[in-house]
Amino acid sequence: MRADHASYACGAALGFLGDLATGDPRRGHPVAAFGTAALAAERLLWRDHRGAGALYTAVCAGGAAAGAALTVRAVRALGPSRAAHTALTAAATWAVLGGTTLGREARAVGAALAAGDLDAARRRLPHLCGRDPQALDERQIARAVVESVAENTSDAVVGALVWGAVAGVPGLVGFRAVNTLDAMVGHRSPRYRRFGWASARLDDLAGWPGARLTAALATLAGPDPRGAWRAWRQDGHRHPSPNAGPVEASFAGALGVRLGGTLAYGGRVEHRPVLNSGGRPVEAADIERAVRLSRRVGALALGVSVAARLAAGALRPARTGLLPAVRPGAPVRAGRAPHGARGHGLARRARSLGAPGATGGAYGQATARLSAAGRERG
């Protein structure tokens, strides 16, 4: 148990470093392959109905998480070596994280704005978000980039690390699948208003813990912790998205800028509440500050998630050690098993291993096996 958690921690750190070093490849990225498969599933399952969308979400996201769980099981079946599990975790972590590419694209827009090339900045902006760039001026483009950096720090980095800490490789892959589906179909367009409803709501649920951790870490790591906390507390709930609100508000307060306001998506104009109304308008130079804050938040999130995973691994064996020993030769009775229903199940397993006179050794083996089964999801 403890070794599994340690190998996960090592793999997550290696995957994080791999993303820092290489970012996303232009071709052959696993998330792109998932997107291609999801498009094929959409062509088969699309109906203008929430039920069809729920089936689509279950097939795509559930299939991705189940495939990851089966892969983990296959790796374990190869033997007790920790190296294979570490390598699998590193590969999955690298595949689902997108912090380096996020910063790279944001800096590309910032460089175009700094050079006075507004047309180049407009051409590059769709790489980050789905807004209509043609009607945006320099400050509006800079604001869109900072908002995208803030939101995607949660979606592309922190949220994945949180679910990896909770459920290992299936958690990493499942979260990225849900987030990708939301980006593909979680829109309020006529085609996806009903079909994408399930993907959007599931993404809201899956992203909730990561968004709060992102806001907390941005508050702690930003240049103005008090401003970040004040903006988060006062304005985070005013955003139409339950997860983007806290993140964007905390980034706005930390950087001392004003986010939100009028924007356009696919020909549809939205008037969003202003976040951190006391801040100044966003400038091109703030893009680099937002990217640096995003990097710090991602590194802190890695530390928090790895520490939580290791702590869970240290606590689980301690709890199983509280089970009372069984005297050699003493029968194990099912009437008053230790630890309630869980102990009752252990007693039944012990009898199946050792017949009516199961010994303490058999009981200990059953306890160890069941304890080993109670690890990451899948």
Q: Does the pLDDT of residue 107 top 70, yes or no? A: yes
Look-up of token digits 């760039």: 133
Give the ranges where 28-137 is alpha helix by DSSP (H): 30-45, 50-77, 82-96, 99-114, 118-124
Q: Is 327 exposed, middle or buried (0-12, 13-18, 19+ CB in 10 A)?
A: exposed
218 SS3 class: helix
Confidence (pTM): 0.82
- At residue 91, the pLDDT reads 97
Q: How many CB atoms lie within 10 A of CB 102?
A: 26
Look over the chain and give the mean of its residue pLDDT values, rounded to a whole number: 85
How long, in residues, is the chain?
A: 378
- At residue 271, the pLDDT reads 78
48 SS3 class: coil
pLDDT in tens, 217-268: 999 999 999 999 999 999 999 999 999 999 999 999 999 999 998 776 656 6
Beta bridge partners of 130: none
pLDDT in tens, 319-377: 444 444 444 454 544 444 334 443 444 334 333 444 333 333 332 333 333 344 443 33
